[in-house]
Amino acid sequence: MKYDELLNFLQNVGKDPSRLIFEDELTGIFNRRFLLNYFQYKVTWDAQQAHPLSLIMMDVDHFKQVNDTYGHHVGDQTLVWVGSQLKEIAGDENLAIRYAGDEFMILMPQKDKKAALQLAESLLQRVREQPIRLGEPYTQKNGTLRISFSIGVASAPQDAQTGKGLIQKADTALYYAKKTGRDRLANAAEIVPQDVFPKTALYQLEKEKMAGRRKQLALVSDYLQKFSGGQNQFLIVEGSAGMGKTSFLEAIRRNLADNKMIRLARAHGNTQELFSPYYLTTKILIELLNLRADGGVGVFERLSPKEIAHLANILPQLGDSVQVQLEDEPKALREGVFSTLLHFIPAILESNPLVLLIDDLHFIDEASLVLLRQLFQSRQFPLFICGTSPDPREFKVEEQEVPLKTFQAMNDKELDIHKISLTPLTAPDITDHLQGVFPQISIPQNFEKRLEQLTQGNPLFLGEILHQLVMDQKIILMGQQWVMEPSAADDLPKSLEAIINQKIAGLDEESRGLLHQATTFGEDVALSLLTGGSEAKEARVLEFVDHAVEQGLLSSDFQLNDETIRFRGKRILEIADRGIQPEQKRQLHERIGNYQETLYQRRLLTSAAPVVYHFKLSANQEKAGVYERFQAGYTNKVFPSVPI
């Protein structure tokens, strides 16, 4: 395998490359992946004054009634007809896109709002005048079906300066068109905010992702200052479930994302791979390779054949490039892999400073910990490590102590490991958060104290309550003033579990099945894997994802040609998992495990080994299942200089 082929392969880690296509499988027009990729790589967002960009977003009015009345076959026929109409009216200069379900778009590069409004009006008129001609058995009943569109129009830079912002503005305008009667279009620039406050409020919640962590972020800023002065730093952010550890790490990432002087890499621990040596190192390597303009090809070309062979032990896709036979003696092999990594990682970075953010650091494998310690102490490049972890007293997986606990006990003073604790929010923290989300909001008296008592200062629970209040329209916009209805204090849910279970119960059967499948994959999953592991078409999966995001169950982020679907918190994942019946859970784990095994055998899955899921029957059965695979690698308790 050539190195450029390998690196293209590694870019798709955790994805199903066979599904990373830019064409909608039903209509044949572009899909959402194409749109997001276009925004990421084709649009220069700081030059939109000279290069305007417009977006027409629409959906089919009362499309559910089409499916209910005529059946899904006619529903699909309708969507295909819509796709053909959009492709025809878009012409060669514009781009027709199926976004999700019955939501479609026309993207108009180099076109301003006036041109977009004219095209949207032409589209409305065309659909009104041209009914869909149905085949058998509907020909005896006139054989035609009339539909209409609701349309929202937004342009950059007039309405937004980012791809996500442009979609949100067009979506808000579409919402207004539907709210005011359907079969019409709405201009994002002409909408009065209070007329669309439910949409506006949801987008406001999305912007303010973290509450009450100014002091802790200030500490991180102090450590970053020391890092910029040449001191390596090792931080562990601790907190109980729901305290916002992942959100805190994401806030650090956002603050550093535009810093061109550093290399910023992310990784997260996985309980299933806890005892698999170097599994987290593999994830870090892939992140670092993808940060380089050449994808690391130049570094690979400078490695010796023996170093390539050693790297193939943790990057098995290098197997085709191995030209030498390595030593059979296990200790010599371990030393070779370790020394190769100590040389390879600095070569990738070319002495640039590295900020490494590791979520769920307590699930890091022992070998990766020892490697990070050596890199930290060797000072071959500036290194800032920040990871998240629960309280150390919770460090246990069944009867095994996780490697991080032993590592901290032995290296705390030597590495000067700093702890940052995420404590429960106070009433003033909650007030600051409310004001940050909804500026100048008017709230009922003592409402913050009641929220503090009810949530016990848990940010995840607080966020779900605010989301529920927005969905129930207890937070509204009156003129320029956000107002929380006095009755809101009387309708607060009693627990986080009650909120999540109510949301899950409100999903239709197919959506609940997709949520359960996402739960089986874990805290996050690529859209391509979620689709590949199900029997649903990607557009239907996207429709589910958008609804679950709106409900506050999931979040979605686009990176490297695919969307990553994440649960908004580990507690939400746990609650969703508890709602799956035992037999259904067993079947899901078996099906997903077989799917990933198939990808691995076809060399489409880029883990060192496929993740094998085990249904949790009991403590003893679990111990005999998932940990058995890795037990041979977990024998070195004292952390010598060379890992096992």
What mean pLDDT comes out for the span 438-463?
Answer: 92
CA proximity to 167, closest of 115, 99, 101, 121 = 99
Round the CA-based radius of gyration of the chain to a whole number and report it. Answer: 26
Burial of 65 (0-12, 13-18, 19+ CB in 10 A): exposed
Q: Which domain holds residue 148?
A: 43-191
CA proximity to 308, closest of 261, 341, 355, 352 = 341
Task: Produce one character per residue of 101-132: b if its CB has 16 or more CB atoms within 10 Å, e if not.
Answer: bbbbbbbbeebebebbbebbeebbeebeeeeb
The model's confidence at residue 398, banded by pLDDT at 50, 70 and 90, is low
Which residues are CB-contacts of 339 (< 8 A; sequence separation ≥ 6)? Answer: none
Torsion of CA 360, 613, 406, 385, to 10 degrees: -30
Residue for token digits 């111990």? 623
Considering the domain boundaries, does residue 306 fall inside one? yes
From 494, 521, 536, the end of a domain falls on: 494
Percent of the chain with pLDDT over 70: 88
Give yes or no: residues 221 and 263 share one domain.
yes
Most confident range, picked from 101-110, 275-284, 529-538, 584-593: 101-110
pLDDT value at residue 141: 55
Q: Using H for helix, E for strand and C for coil, what is the string for 613-643?
A: CCCCCCHHHHHHHCCCCCHHHCCCCCCCCCC
pLDDT in tens, 94-110: 999 999 999 999 999 99
Cβ pair 549, 556 in contact under 8 A: yes
Give yes or no: residues 449 and 381 share one domain.
no
Cβ pair 320, 1 in contact under 8 A: yes
Say how many CA atoms lie within 13 Å of 461 toward its Cβ: 22
Say how many CA atoms lie within 13 Å of 27 toward its Cβ: 31
pLDDT value at residue 5: 63
Give yes or no: residues 397 and 523 share one domain.
no
Considering the domain boundaries, does residue 92 fall inside one? yes
Evaluate the omega torsion of the peptide bond into residue 157 and state whether it is cis, within 30 degrees of 0: yes
Task: Produce one character per residue of 255-267: b if its CB has 16 or more CB atoms within 10 Å, e if not.
Answer: ebeeeeebbbbbb
Task: Produce one character per residue of 569-607: b if its CB has 16 or more CB atoms within 10 Å, e if not.
Answer: bbbbbebbeebbeeeebbebbeebbebbeebbeeebbbb
Considering the domain boundaries, does residue 230 fall inside one? yes
Evaluate the omega torsion of the peptide bond into residue 403 and state whether it is cis, within 30 degrees of 0: no
Work out how many domains the chain is built from and give that number.
4
Considering the domain boundaries, does residue 102 fall inside one? yes
Give yes or no: residues 141 and 102 share one domain.
yes
Task: Average the pLDDT over each of 64-78, 135-149, 478-492, 545-559 and give the range with the smallest value.
Answer: 135-149
pLDDT in tens, 225-248: 999 999 999 999 999 988 999 999
| The model's pTM | 0.85
CA proximity to 237, closest of 383, 354, 358, 353 = 358
pLDDT value at residue 330: 84
Phi first, then psi, for residue 366 (nearest 5°) are: -60, -45
Give yes or no: residues 555 and 600 share one domain.
yes
Pure H helices in 257-402? 279-291, 297-301, 305-311, 330-349, 366-378
Q: Tokens in use for 54?
A: 């417009």
Q: How far is CA 536 from the centre of its chain?
A: 20
Give yes or no: residues 567 and 517 share one domain.
yes
From 494, 527, 549, the end of a domain falls on: 494
Cβ pair 359, 387 in contact under 8 A: yes
Give yes or no: residues 463 and 331 share one domain.
no
pLDDT value at residue 572: 94
pLDDT value at residue 56: 98
Residue for token digits 């490039």? 321
Say how many CA atoms lie within 13 Å of 545 toward its Cβ: 27
Considering the domain boundaries, does residue 27 fall inside one? no
CA proximity to 86, closest of 113, 106, 109, 60 = 106
Cβ pair 215, 426 in contact under 8 A: no
DSSP 3-state of 304: coil
Give yes or no: residues 326 and 359 share one domain.
yes
Residues recorded for the chain: 644
Task: Tell me the C-alpha distance between 302 and 263, whole Å.
Answer: 21
Q: Which long-range contacts (CB under 8 A, 24 or more apart) does 217-220 make?
A: 217/248, 217/251, 217/252, 219/418, 219/420, 220/252, 220/386, 220/420
Give yes or no: residues 312 and 391 share one domain.
yes
pLDDT in tens, 403-415: 898 899 899 999 9
Considering the domain boundaries, does residue 630 fall inside one? no
For residue 545, give the CATH number of its domain: 1.10.10.10
Q: Tokens in use for 257?
A: 């994302």
pLDDT value at residue 142: 65
For residue 155, give the CATH number of its domain: 3.30.70.270
pLDDT value at residue 488: 66
Q: Letter for the amino acid at 282?
A: T
Give yes or no: residues 476 and 525 share one domain.
no
Pick 172 or 351 by higher pLDDT: 172
Considering the domain boundaries, does residue 594 fall inside one? yes
Give yes or no: residues 517 and 480 share one domain.
no
Give yes or no: residues 320 and 412 share one domain.
yes
pLDDT in tens, 590-640: 999 899 888 877 655 544 333 333 333 333 333 333 333 333 333 333 334
Q: Letter for the amino acid at 644?
A: I
Q: Tokens in use for 591?
A: 């099906």
From 467, 494, 521, the end of a domain falls on: 494
For residue 403, give the CATH number of its domain: 3.40.50.300
pLDDT in tens, 290-343: 888 888 888 988 999 999 888 988 887 777 777 788 777 888 889 999 999 999
Q: Tokens in use for 90?
A: 């878009």
DSSP 3-state of 142: coil
pLDDT value at residue 450: 92
pLDDT value at residue 192: 87
Considering the domain boundaries, does residue 34 fall inside one? no
Task: Tell me the C-alpha distance between 283 and 303, whole Å.
Answer: 20
Q: Letter for the amino acid at 414?
A: E
Task: Tell me the C-alpha distance between 604 and 606, whole Å.
Answer: 6
Task: Tell me the C-alpha distance between 31 and 539, whole Å.
Answer: 8
What mean pLDDT comes out for the span 566-582?
Answer: 93
Task: Tell me the C-alpha distance between 173 and 186, whole Å.
Answer: 5
